Amino acid sequence: MATQTKRPRRGALQSQSGWVPLLLALLHELQAPASRWRPYFALWPELGSLDHPMFWPEEERRCLLQGTGVPEAVEKDLANIRSEYHSIVLPFMEAHPDLFSLRVRSLELYHQLVALVMAYSFQEPLEEEEDEKEPNSPVMVPAADILNHLANHNANLEYSANCLRMVATQPIPKGHEIFNTYGQMANWQLIHMYGFVEPYPDNTDDTADIQMVTVREAALQGTETEAERLLVYERWDFLCKLEMVGEEGAFVIGREEVLTEEELITTLKVLCMPAEEFRELKDQDGGGDNKREEGSLTITNIPKLKASWRQLLRNSVLLTLQTYATDLKTDQDLLSNKEVYARLSWREQQALQVRYGQKMILHQLLELTS
């Protein structure tokens, strides 16, 4: 008597990443001799050749990328990959041995496919009115995924109900490369998700992060008594209730503007205001007049901030710079010496570009807050 393949119960393949159905489909098609996608798979890079930081030895990753935010992001990825594989993917494959051979029941292979999907898949952006919805599932788009990324791109992928179109955004001379955009990506995001960076100063979308808790630490450094320390924590809890800060959040600084403008301005204001003013604001439950007389927080406007705000921001930058294993001058010397730079490994070069771009933004803040 023929056995009937059980259908997975609704929600059985739901995961934190939302990628499990696509990854399972790829695992199945990879080992299917007559897969219609075999010509597409032949265009892929060798899975074992992917060189995202998640494949670097942990010690090398931490040594080269300390302070950039990449090691922490990778550790979260690796934990999520292991969890999804053992709790969802492997049980599903074992429940369907007719669909998945032993050859593809491998955490290492799953790990490689996650990196490939991270680098080559597309996700249709949500419309503004759909911001509260879950992100769209990733899809693989043969041919569209062969284009490389540049911040200064000359083509863009457009989504419509019936098709995807790669559209030139400027005239492209014959023989010139077509560059797509993967979004406004800082170098740390590019190396984390795609395994490459744009050399300084080409990536105009580059950013540097100041961890929110670092600003709290900087504020605590300025206290002298236990009462003052407790008041900083009280202000911090108030900011948390306003959803302006969080223990794992970061203020994102671009080359020309602060991308988390509202969060940073509100945080500087609350942490620096006189105690009586804070009590009044707290009594109003945060509903007081919060208009920004200081203007928008573009980089050029930072010197116009109140002196106490600038000092807190400056101290936060100094603490952030201490998280890197090297200083700006060390990285600058490596970059400016072409012979020395050429002797660096590819990973060392990529990591250097990430560190240097972030430090240049942070040092610009130092100058503006002095």
Residues 225 and 360 in one domain: yes
The DSSP element (H or E) to which 331 belongs, if any, is: helix 328-336
Provide the pLDDT for residue 293: 44
Q: How many domains does the chain have?
A: 2
Per-residue pLDDT of the chain (370 residues; tens, 9 = 90+): 333 444 444 456 776 678 999 999 999 999 998 999 999 999 999 999 999 999 999 999 999 999 999 999 999 999 999 999 999 999 999 999 999 999 999 999 999 999 999 999 998 888 777 767 788 889 999 988 999 999 999 999 998 888 889 999 999 999 999 999 999 999 999 999 999 999 999 999 999 999 999 999 999 999 999 999 999 999 999 999 999 999 999 999 999 999 999 999 999 999 999 999 999 999 987 655 444 444 468 898 999 999 999 999 999 999 999 999 999 999 999 999 999 999 999 999 999 999 999 999 999 999 999 9
For helices 20-30 and 107-120, angle between their N-to-C axes, nearest 10 degrees: 110
Give me the domain span that covers residue 218: 207-284+293-369
Kindly state whether residues 113 and 211 are assigned to the same domain: no
Instruction: For Cα atoms 60, 348, 361, give the angle at the middle one, nearest 5 degrees.
Output: 105
CA distance to 69, 210, 212, 220, 253, per residue, from 258 (Å): 18, 11, 14, 23, 5
What pLDDT score was predicted for residue 127? 78
The pLDDT, as a whole number, for residue 361 is: 98
pLDDT at 12: 63
Q: In the 8-state DSSP scheme, what is residue 4? A: P
| 103 and 215 in a common domain | no
Residue 84's DSSP bridge partners are none
Residue where a domain stops, chosen among 82, 106, 122? 122
Tell me the residue length of the chain: 370
Which token pair is 12? Answer: 């059985």
CATH of the domain at 41: 3.90.1410.10
CATH code of 340's domain: 3.90.1420.10
The pLDDT of residue 275 is: 96
C-alpha to C-alpha distances, 48 to 23, 45, 164, 174, 195, nearest whole angstrom? 17, 8, 30, 34, 13
Residue 55's closest CA among 81, 26, 87?
Answer: 81
